[in-house]
Amino acid sequence: MSNVGNNIKKLRKVKGMSQQAFGDIFNLTRGNISSYEEMRAEPKIEIVLKIANYFGIPVQHLIEKNLSVNEILNFNDYFEPNVSIIGRKRLLQIPLLERDAIFEASTHFSKLDELPIIEFPLQSRNRLIAIEYADPIPVPSDFLASPQSILFFEEVDVQSLHTLDNAFGLYFSEEEFFIGKYSLQEKEISLALNVWKKIDFTLGEKAYFWKLYAKFERI
């Protein structure tokens, strides 16, 4: 039996799509998608070709492999696991908040361990989170990123507070989600989206504050 059904389910979830929305793209019903995912039926080869072409995934991989989040996002070709200078030991597993789920951030903040995982050659002593960038995310006017970039944020700790001044950061709580710029004045730290929106940093809420650690953009 092929792995198409499992991969369709994973594609749909990574892209934040319902069975109905996924089916609509390929002129299929919700019932068709459900039957594929539950292994009660297999799509015809022409449907498999359409899905593979639409998401830019090799047909053989869609049929035979258990696709990873990296492969679904088309980033896997940048990091071959057999390349010695990277090596699997240096690939860090990082929770990924996809652009389709960004504005359900309040439901994800307390469930970071349940998010899809992306593997990247990054090292940090602190917790990291990856964000698939999208235009609707509130950002300062001088923040530059292209759609589908992956932004990596490192959780702020006491030892890194002196590095925050003028750095971009993320505020991520149950109620709010935005990218801003840190300002450090004497012993007061704030993260500002703009002149009207600013949140002061407090140690009691430090889990909500993250610093931009890296940015990955496809060329």
φ, ψ of residue 7 in degrees (nearest 5): -70, -35
Residue 87 predicted with pLDDT over 50: no
Q: Of 11-15, 69-73, 123-127, where does mean pLDDT reach its minimum?
A: 69-73
pLDDT at 82: 41
Q: Where are the domains of the chain?
A: 4-66, 88-216
Q: Return the CATH architecture of domain 88-216.
A: Ribbon (2.10)
Does the structure show a pLDDT above 50 at 84?
Answer: no
Distance in angstroms (rounded) separating the CA atoms of residues 156 and 208: 8
Q: Calculate what percentage of the chain has a pLDDT beyond 70.
A: 85
pLDDT at 117 over 50: yes
Helices (H), ranges, 88-157: 105-108
Q: Give the whole-angstrom CA distance, residue 154 versus residue 36.
A: 38
Mean pLDDT of the chain: 81
Tell me the pLDDT tens digit for each residue of 128-164: 999 888 878 889 988 888 877 889 999 888 887 888 8
DSSP for 21-50, written as a single string: HHHHHTT--HHHHHHHHTTS----HHHHHH
Q: Is the pTM of this model over 0.75?
A: no
Please name the CATH architecture into which domain 4-66 falls: Orthogonal Bundle (1.10)
